[in-house]
Amino acid sequence: MSWKTLVITTNNVYAEPLSEALLALGALSVEILDAAAGTADEQPLYGEPGAPAQQLWQKTEVSALFEEGADVIAILRSAVDATGMPEQPGYHVDVVEEQDWVKLTQSQFDPISISRRLWIVPTWHQPPDPAAINLILDPGLAFGTGSHPTTQLCLAWLDQSLQHGETVLDYGCGSGILAIAALKLGARHVTGIDIDPHAIQASQANAVLNACDVERFFFTTDYAVTEKNPDSIAQVDIVVANILSNPLIMLAPVLAQATRGGGRIVLSGILQEQSQDVQAAYQSWFEMQATQSQDGWVLLTGVKK
């Protein structure tokens, strides 16, 4: 059995109405994507406080999945009519052959070595080094499988820099991978914060999977409260934030307040050309430096003045 995927290029005005029309006309699923993803024109979208609740890319792709026998060209014409689009948009049709999707997905994720003693291991693999510190983690709804350079930079810093007994805040915890790593590497207590409830659920599940001591571990979505009242964050020895440059700049006062005097901050999700702007946002509170880089991404660290 096979399926058809109809991929339509449109804009942020028609993307959602077109998606709704395609679903009404029999699409099995519809996905809206950034048409410029992977290019210099890629447009990051953020969910930080103060930003619009809903945003779409200026140039979008609407990808709709149909059964093999569907007349996707006729469906496209009907969807265009239903949405009032002035002309038929560009499109292409792909055939999706039946596969063992679980096996295919799993084949894309092998164990990742962060250092000689620290590994990320999916549940379907045996740890290459059972004596190492193994982070058991599967791909999921939240960011942070360990494959992205920004995550690897943070993990390598934690591996090299934790001295045991520190308190750690993982701000924008995603899958919880950095928080879990910090705890396994010797942190005394770890808190993870994320605005996405799915991220908190993923973090909690991954903490259980990794047999983390719940008394030394805490995850919360209490982002809005801390943004409005930075003093509500208990100060910690180390703050780690692997997000993106714009939200990192906006969150500088919050993350500075969360770091005790003499404590350290670790910032990732920063492209090389964005490094100076992020450093400038934190220099009122920290002695900042660019510590490491990987594939065009930079890790910034600082010590609280």
Domain at 2-98: CATH code = 3.30.70.120
CATH architecture of 145-304: 3-Layer(aba) Sandwich (3.40)
pTM, whole model, 2 decimals?
Answer: 0.68
Ranges for all domains in the chain classified under CATH 3.40.50.150 = 145-304
Q: What is the DSSP secondary structure assignment for residue 242, as one 8-state letter?
A: E
Ranges for all domains in the chain classified under CATH 3.30.70.120 = 2-98
**Owner of token pair 């995927």:** 5
User: pLDDT tens track of the chain, all 305 residues?
Assistant: 788 999 999 998 999 999 999 999 999 999 998 888 777 777 766 544 444 444 678 889 999 999 999 999 999 999 999 999 999 999 999 998 776 555 656 656 789 999 999 999 988 889 999 999 999 988 766 677 788 999 999 999 999 999 999 999 999 999 999 999 999 999 999 999 998 888 899 899 999 999 998 677 788 876 544 555 555 557 999 999 999 999 999 999 999 999 999 999 999 999 999 999 999 999 999 999 999 999 999 999 999 99
How far apart, in Å, do the first and last CA atoms of the chain sit? 63
74: number of Cβ within 10 Å: 10
Long-range Cβ contact pairs of 180-184 (< 8 A, separation 24 or more): 180/135, 180/137, 180/206, 180/207, 180/210, 180/212, 181/118, 181/133, 181/135, 181/155, 182/158, 182/238, 182/240, 183/212, 183/213, 183/216, 183/217, 184/133, 184/135, 184/210, 184/212
SS3 243: coil
